[in-house]
């Protein structure tokens, strides 16, 4: 059943007919945590989650604080609140499953990398267009900080409007500042990641800087790093034209990673 987000909230939500609630689908002994991106809902990760669930994996997706309500709510949270929400769901998966993989889209990818850096027992990380560095100039970043006290949100540009994506039509400025803070923290923690990492980004992504996959690959201490570009995809790579290819690559990575981990056990 779809969440009742209220009439006024629906005016801020793109594709309100989609299901955006948190979910936890129990199946096998391998658990996968999928985290949605900034301003989005769990509708963003649901198709990938459904695919992995069909393959026999337990899959969970939390709803990040400040999302799926009203944009002003996203200006009232800190990045630590997002971390707390995903860590709580991770702990549940870790209790129920023998091994856990963490993944996410954009800001969700950052949170997945952060979890991997803090929990060495995590089996691997799936980073889809991880928002470690945005295509903002220093002047644009400065302008956002100066405007934030006076403008609670900024309109979004074009991009993924044709996709089955659900979330706010605007970017809450206070929330963006928390994203910047999260970027700094994750960048400092990348060296603590030793697990296998999958990085997938759309070649036509207008949001995340194209240097990000290389930056991550050169900083983490992982022996296994898969990088793949989706040539026809934009930012929300898990929903775009090559979503089936993303699903297949993800499944192959997970099977390879789990097989290696079981062989070493």
Mean pLDDT for the chain? 92
Residue extents of the structural domains in the chain: 7-264
Instruction: List pLDDT tens digits, range 95-118.
Output: 999 999 999 999 999 999 999 999
Between CA 10 and CA 4 the distance in angstroms is 9
Between CA 57 and CA 55 the distance in angstroms is 6
Per-residue burial over 183-217, b if 16 or more Cβ lie within 10 Å, else e, is beebbebbeebebbbbbbbbebbebbeeebbebbe
- For the segment 61-73, the average pLDDT, to the nearest whole number, is 97
Instruction: List pLDDT tens digits, range 44-65.
Output: 999 999 999 999 999 999 999 9
At residue 257, the pLDDT reads: 86
Instruction: List pLDDT tens digits, range 210-220.
Output: 999 999 999 99
Secondary structure class of 95 (helix, strand, coil): helix
Within 10 A of 226 (CB to CB), how many other CB atoms are there?
A: 19
Instruction: Give the rounded distance of the alpha carbon of 215 from its chain centre.
Output: 17
pLDDT at 7 over 60: no
Task: Choose which CATH entry (3.40.50.300, 3.40.50.1460, 3.40.50.1820, 2.40.420.20) describes domain 7-264.
Answer: 3.40.50.1820
């Amino acid at each position: 059943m779809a969440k009742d987000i209220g009439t006024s909230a629906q005016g801020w939500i793109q594709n309100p007919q989609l299901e955006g609630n948190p979910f936890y689908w129990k199946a096998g002994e391998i658990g996968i945590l999928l985290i949605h991106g900034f301003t989005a809902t769990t509708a963003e990760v649901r198709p990938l989650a459904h695919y992995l669930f069909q393959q026999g994996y337990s899959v969970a997706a939390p709803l990040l604080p400040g999302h799926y309500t009203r944009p002003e709510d996203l200006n009232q949270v800190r990045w630590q609140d997002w971390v707390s929400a995903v860590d709580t769901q991770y702990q549940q998966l870790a209790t129920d499953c023998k091994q856990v993989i963490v993944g996410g889209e954009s800001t969700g990818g950052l949170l997945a990398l952060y979890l991997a850096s803090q929990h060495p027992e995590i089996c691997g990380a799936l980073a889809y267009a991880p928002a470690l560095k945005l295509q903002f100039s220093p002047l644009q970043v400065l302008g956002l900080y100066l405007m934030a006290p006076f403008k609670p949100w900024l309109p979004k540009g074009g991009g993924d409007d044709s996709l089955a994506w659900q979330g706010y039509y605007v970017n809450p400025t206070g929330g963006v500042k928390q994203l910047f803070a999260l970027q700094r923290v994750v960048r400092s923690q990348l060296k603590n990641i030793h697990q296998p990492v999958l990085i997938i980004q759309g070649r036509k992504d207008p949001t995340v800087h194209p240097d990000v996959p290389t930056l991550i690959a050169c900083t983490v201490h992982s022996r296994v790093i898969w990088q793949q570009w989706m040539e026809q995809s934009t930012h929300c790579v898990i929903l775009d034209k090559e979503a089936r290819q993303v699903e297949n690559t993800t499944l192959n990575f997970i099977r390879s990673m789990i097989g290696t981990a079981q062989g070493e056990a």
